[in-house]
Structure 1
Amino acid sequence: MSWLRSATTSTGETVDVEISGGVIRRVLPAAGGPVGPEDTDLSGHVLLASFVEPHAHLDKALTASLIHNPTGDLAGAVAAMDALRPETNRAELIARAEAALRIHLAYGTTHIRSHVNVLSSVGLAALSAMVEVRERWRGIIDLQLVALVNDTSGPLLREALKEGADVAGGCPHMEDDPDRAVAACLDAAGEAGAPIDLHTDETLNPTALSLVTLADLVTRTGFPHPVTASHCVSLSMQPVDAQRTIAERVAEAGISVVALPQTNLYLQGRDQPVATPRGLTAVAPLLRAGVTVAAGGDNLRDPFHVVGRGDALEVAALMVTCGHLDPVNALYSVTTAPRTALGLPAVSLAPGSPADLVAMPAGDALEALGAAGAARTVWRDGRVVARTVVRSELAAPAPPSPRAPASTPAPVPAPVPASAPASPSAPPAATPDPCVPKADR
């Protein structure tokens, strides 16, 4: 048993949190007493549920310095990765994926869903490597692996689900027959009893609406497993009425949507130099319809997005700036919403909740989101799995100039009525200016 003492909650309360057996046992108003040897003093820290990354590509992570995206758009990124793949061996893929995991963990992420390329040209090699990574890190940072196939109608998706993939995936909008691809992926997932997470309409082309096909098929077939649609960029290009109607159909089907602001802002809209669209899904209409909208980082320093910190708070800040969410809902999109989408237990500062938590120096949740400092402590099942300490050394400004000693103020003369003649104590007349000719004075 241990206590997290004097932590500030997202609602501004100061509490003591008891943890035992990987679970929160009690949450009490902070007593302000001594901190025991097994306890953690969180005075001046905000305590939140740990973050969840609902959409990553760990098999591509940290490759931006190795290969260049020649066009900067989605097609260029795909071509760049195709060129790099023959030069990448299993050990290199695992090393980069684990480096990315460490980055995410240090910033407070304890669960990740990662899409893994399962291509007809290379088979299950990347999936096999990522299964090894998943098992090595289980219990520290848990992975769900999505088989991202380039041909949903072929045998690879079924094979991948048998060989260790947790979720069925694909990119229907990039196949010759998107509607048929959606149906094929649902069939394969249904046979395997697996959830489905599709790259959906990752384009600003308003005619691409696989999301509608997915919603209709899920509703009509009663597909019994969780369904996620990632990206859904083209939804933002629909008229307002169409956005509302489609969002309501998605809500009725129980489909979660993952918004991916970083990569979509980077890749989309490059051919529209005037009034460039944001490349983000229609967040507000989806939320109004009751859809679970999670937010993810997508790519981490690879040809699809060449920068990024691997920090969920960076994603949340973009959901404020680009998605126009308020800070509370932005934090929700990287904590509670992705847990719902991924089928994970809910985490809150309440008895019985899993003790998957992150604390960071801040006066309140808004400061934590805005500053997004690297100093953090991360708990998984009640044990510390990451701790980052930051020490700053700053130059001091020059000391203030010494002030002259204060003198006794002169007495203030009594006011003189406007009609009274000037007294002898009145101020002297102005001295003539020697620079002005006498004739002009």
Structure 2
Amino acid sequence: MISPLLLRGARVPGGPVRDLLLEGGLVRRVAPAGTLPAGPAELDLSGHLLLPAPAEPHAHLDKALTWDLVGAPPCDLPSAVAAWRAYAEKVDERDVGARARRALEQLVANGATAVRTHADILPGDDPLRGLRALLRLREEVRGRVTVQISVLHVDAPEPLLREALAMGADLLGGCPHLSPDPAAAVERAVTLAAECGVGLDLHTDENLDPASQDLRLLAAAVRRHGFTGPVTAGHCVSLGAMEPEEAARVAKEAAQAGIGVVTLPLTNLYLQGREHPSSTPRGLTAVRALLDAGVRLAAGGDNVRDPFNPVGRGDPLETAALLVAAGHLTPSEAVHAVTAGARSVLGLPAAGPYEGAVADLLAVRGTSLSEVLGTASPDRLVIRAGRVVSRTTVLRELF
């Protein structure tokens, strides 16, 4: 049983300083500062902005922290895939588990209380060794962070996918744009997910070809089959390369099919557009068209220091800042994409500093959204279901 917790003096975005009473995993009371009676446990959050805790909707914990090990040169998506596949031949379950834990701990310290990670079907005689490591990690961190696992593959044998889902993976993934027959890959994914009673989370249209059709194929298949499980499309880069009218049409089809879209600015800015040395395209999906169409938009950090991206710090505020700079979203829209939008795509209940919400919260030093996005202060306190799960404090000395 988690004891009640009183938060004193936190500022809410666009609002005044408040006190909050957390009890039973929920925000029970929100009141003007200094008006709630003293509680058995209190935290002074003066000087902090209180946000809904971020959720990371698209991670690759099994690949994380391998950049220095793989030795891949800066490259595009096909070259990154090849570099990872070559290295993955020698990764074992223990290696995946250790690196995944380090990356997950960084995400939690930065504010994430829920993470969806993809798990590769790995090359070699034991293709599910990475999945086993992530399943074990999911159980070990239960109570601190919610972990969802999606099986990632390109045209893997159906019996292997069924085995992975039977082991406990939450969703079926895939990369239709890397398949010789994207339409058939989408059709198979929808059919198999329906038969196994799981959701879908596909890497879609991760290229700058405006003729790429993964998202449109997925929307049509979901409607045709009457698929009722959760459906997520990650990347959707080609949407940003389409003419505005066409992008709006595809976005509307995705909205009508109930598809949540995850944009991944850091990795896609790194991988995409290398063949355009002049006027390099941004490599992002059409975030404004998706929002205008009513699509549930989330944003994630994707790869962290692996062959697909040599940088990244597992920080949702970094992702949000990139959406402001490269995606031209407002700070409020960008923060929504990594908090409420991400939780919605993951199928999680609403969280935040208001009465009745799940008490998953991030307190970060600062007074406004623009300040916390601009400074990304590591001075943070993370609360999950009313319990503090991480606190980072910073000592700065100037001489």
Interval of TM-score (by shorter of Structure 1 and Structure 2):
over 0.9
1:298 is matched with which residue: 286, 297, 302? Answer: 302
C-alpha distance in 2 between matches for 1:146 and 1:199: 11
CA RMSD of aligned residues (A): 1.5
Amino acid at match of 1:252: Q
C-alpha distance in 2 between matches for 1:353 and 1:289: 26
Aligned partners of 1:196 and 1:225 also within 8 Å: yes
Q: Does 1:366 align with 2:334?
A: no
Tell me by how many angstroms 1:133 deviates. 0.6
Matches within 5 A, 1:12-161: 12-31=15-34, 38-70=41-73, 72-119=75-122, 121=124, 122-151=126-155, 154-161=158-165
2:343 is matched with which residue: 327, 339, 346? Answer: 339
State the identity %: 49
C-alpha distance in 2 between matches for 1:2 and 1:257: 35
Tell me by how many angstroms 1:75 deviates. 1.5
Secondary structure at 1:333 match in 2? helix
Matches within 5 A, 1:273-352: 273-352=277-356
Amino acid at match of 1:181: A
Deviations 1:378-423 (A, max 9, x none): 111111100001001101xxxxxxxxxxxxxxxxxxxxxxxxxxxx
Deviations 1:113-162 (A, max 9, x none): 00010146442111111100111011101110000022156322222111
CA change 1:119–1:94 in 2 (3 A) is: closer
Aligned partners of 1:45 and 1:360 also within 8 Å: yes
Give the aligned partner of residue 379 of structure 2.
Answer: 375
Amino acid at match of 2:28: R
What is the TM-score when the length of structure 1 is the normalising length?
Answer: 0.87
The range that moved more, 179-188 or 64-73, is 64-73
Q: Does 1:268 align with 2:275?
A: no
Give the aligned partner of residue 2 of structure 1.
Answer: 5
Tell me by how many angstroms 1:28 deviates. 0.6
1:187 is matched with which residue: 191, 201, 207? Answer: 191
C-alpha distance in 1 between matches for 2:67 and 2:139: 26
C-alpha distance in 2 between matches for 1:254 and 1:21: 32
Secondary structure at 1:310 match in 2? coil
2:208 is matched with which residue: 198, 204, 225? Answer: 204
C-alpha distance in 2 between matches for 1:353 and 1:70: 45
Deviations 1:319-339 (A, max 9, x none): 001110000000000000011
C-alpha distance in 1 between matches for 2:295 and 2:315: 24
Aligned partners of 2:88 and 2:122 also within 8 Å: no
What is the TM-score when the length of structure 2 is the normalising length?
Answer: 0.96
Aligned partners of 1:5 and 1:35 also within 8 Å: no
Structure with more helix by fraction: 2
C-alpha distance in 2 between matches for 1:156 and 1:277: 38
The range that moved more, 39-48 or 68-77, is 68-77
Q: How many residues of Structure 1 are paired with residues of Structure 2 in the alignment?
A: 395
C-alpha distance in 2 between matches for 1:33 and 1:184: 56
Secondary structure at 1:329 match in 2? helix
Secondary structure at 1:191 match in 2? helix
Tell me by how many angstroms 1:34 deviates. 8.9
Give the aligned partner of residue 174 of structure 2.
Answer: 170
Q: Does 1:255 align with 2:277?
A: no
Matches within 5 A, 1:403-422: none
C-alpha distance in 2 between matches for 1:387 and 1:70: 36
Q: Tell me: higher relative CO, structure 1 or 2? Use CA pairs within 8 A at least 6 residues apart.
A: 2
C-alpha distance in 1 between matches for 2:99 and 2:74: 24
C-alpha distance in 1 between matches for 2:40 and 2:148: 36
Amino acid at match of 1:270: R
Aligned partners of 1:168 and 1:195 also within 8 Å: yes
The range that moved more, 231-240 or 85-94, is 85-94
Tell me by how many angstroms 1:63 deviates. 0.6
The range that moved more, 315-324 or 212-221, is 212-221
Q: For structure 1, list consecutive stretches of 5 or more residues without a partner in the other structure.
A: 396-441
Q: Does 1:238 align with 2:272?
A: no
C-alpha distance in 1 between matches for 2:27 and 2:74: 49
Amino acid at match of 1:118: I
Aligned partners of 1:376 and 1:389 also within 8 Å: yes
C-alpha distance in 2 between matches for 1:152 and 1:290: 33
CA change 1:393–1:36 in 2 (3 A) is: farther
C-alpha distance in 2 between matches for 1:241 and 1:111: 35
C-alpha distance in 2 between matches for 1:361 and 1:119: 41
Deviations 1:259-307 (A, max 9, x none): 0000000001111111111010011111101001100000011010100
Amino acid at match of 1:328: S
Give the aligned partner of residue 415 of structure 1.
Answer: none
CA change 1:224–1:33 in 2 (3 A) is: closer
Deviations 1:199-222 (A, max 9, x none): 001011222111111011111221
Aligned partners of 1:59 and 1:116 also within 8 Å: yes
Aligned partners of 2:122 and 2:130 also within 8 Å: no
